Amino acid sequence: MSKKHPIISVVGSSGAGTSTVKHTFDQIFRREGVNAVSIEGDAFHKFNRKDMKAELDRQYAAGNTGFSHFSYDANELAELERVFREYGDTGKGRTRHYVHDDEEAEKYGVPPGHFTEWAPFEDGSDLLFYEGLHGAVVNDEVNIAKYADLKIGVVPVVNLEWIQKIHRDKAKRGYTTEAVTDVILRRMHSYVHCIIPQFTETDINFQRVPVVDTSNPLVARWIPTPDESLVVIRFKNPRGIDFSYLVSMIDGSWMSRANSIVIPGGKLDLAMQLILTPMIERLVSESKRA
Ligand SMILES: Nc1ncnc2c1ncn2[C@@H]1O[C@H](COP(=O)(O)OP(=O)(O)O)[C@@H](O)[C@H]1O
Ligand SMILES: O=C(COP(=O)(O)O)[C@H](O)[C@H](O)COP(=O)(O)O
């Protein structure tokens, strides 16, 4: 936790929607005049695509079939923790980009499957924004969660997460359904052991739930739309959350538990703005006073 240089960490599996949620944060930052430095979790992968393949072969040959991009040891988590700590202390840090596809290759000038060089953050930012796989990890080696001031989980129910991943990876990254299915299967062990535990650390979880049949996610022809879904929003600590205000502002919403509200999927952007804007304002104003 850092009062002076706050950190927001948005955590979700591959295909969960963390990049999509970043657009909502960017809108809030722009509207509120907040100068945020953004980093992506993929920047902290340990291997480029070719070396990851070689490492996977090595790990499998050694009998470690649980190894994947989700695993702690496939990522530079000590470096991520160090960057969070350094930013919290000084407002400085560094990041790079992992290039997934041709569009990103064009943008960053590095071929798909490679990293750009590390580069320092611009000085004078108001906060650090992280989105990715490991922004709330707590294990024997690192405690990334403790450095983040606001932690958000983006966690669709798993069939929907798979549909979102399959469609995104086919449309943008050139993979086949079979290849993505294979990746989902290979990552299951580390999904359970490295990804899921983070959602008990997060302050707010946004869980999209489809209200259309997704019983065979591998053949779904399109991603259920916002209007074909509900979103469960769960607050770890509901104290101070004005639920009656939220329910009155978000048409069609209701409370399902003392710490949870359910909203129509189409209202996700509005709900995020209503919930997150005052939290971000508070982080920034407290940092300016610190
Ligand atoms: N709330 C949503 N409603 C509809 N589609 C969504 C939603 N969130 C994400 N998606 C879609 O799911 C896919 C994966 O989302 P993305 O943000 O790229 O995931 P991540 O960055 O977590 O891997 C994208 O095609 C995106 O458009
Ligand atoms: O799992 C993720 C998370 O990213 P995202 O949330 O963007 O999916 C990896 O970055 C890619 O899958 C890399 O694998 P490759 O480059 O070999 O496909």
19 C-alpha to center of ligand 1: Å?
7
In a domain, 59, yes or no: yes
- Residue 92 to residue 4: CA distance in whole angstroms: 12
The pair phi, psi for residue 181, each rounded to 5°, is -60, -40
Whole-number Cα distances in Å, 176 to 54, 56, 159, 179, 220: 21, 20, 18, 5, 14
| DSSP string for 185-236 | HHTHHHIIIIIGGGGGT-SEEEEEEESS--SSGGG-SSPPPGGGEEEEEEES
- Ligand number with the minimum distance to the CA of 156: 1
Count of structural domains, the chain: 1
Residue 276 lies in a domain: yes
- Residue 141 has a pLDDT of 98
In angstroms, the Cα distances linking 88 to 84, 125, 136, 144 are: 6, 12, 15, 12
Half-sphere exposure of 45 (CA within 13 A, CB side): 24
How far, in Å, is the centroid of ligand 2 from the Cα of 13? 10
Query: Distance between CA 84 and CA 144 in Å, rounded?
Result: 7
Q: Is 69 in the pocket of ligand 1 (CB under 6 A)?
A: no
Helix axes 158-173, 177-186, angle to 10 degrees: 130
Which residues form the domain of 105?
7-285
With the most atoms of ligand 2 within 8 angstroms of its CB, the residue from 69, 154, 167, 172 to mutate is: 69
Mean pLDDT for back-to-back runs of 10 residues, the chain (290 residues): 90 97 97 98 98 97 96 98 98 98 96 98 97 98 98 98 97 95 97 98 98 96 97 96 97 98 98 97 94
1 assigned to some structural domain = no
pLDDT at 2: 66
Answer yes or no: is the C-beta of 70 below 6 A from any ligand 2 atom: no
Rounded-to-integer distance, Cα 279 and Cα 269, Å: 15
Q: Which atom of ligand 1 is nearest to the CA of 12?
A: 22
CATH number of the structural domain spanning residue 32? 3.40.50.300
pTM here is: 0.97
Cα separation, 47 vs 50, in Å, equals 8
Is 175 a domain residue?
yes
DSSP label of 81: H
Residue nearest to atom 24 of ligand 1 (CA): 168
Break the chain down into helix, strand, coil percent, rounded to 5: 45, 20, 35
In terms of Cβ atoms closer than 10 Å to its own Cβ (0-12, 13-18, 19+), residue 240 is: exposed
ipTM of the complex as predicted? 0.95
Task: Answer whether 69 contacts ligand 2 (Cβ < 6 A).
Answer: yes
Protein residue whose Cα sits closest to atom 10 of ligand 1: 17
Looking at the domain assignment, is residue 2 inside a domain?
A: no
Residue 76 belongs to some domain of the structure = yes
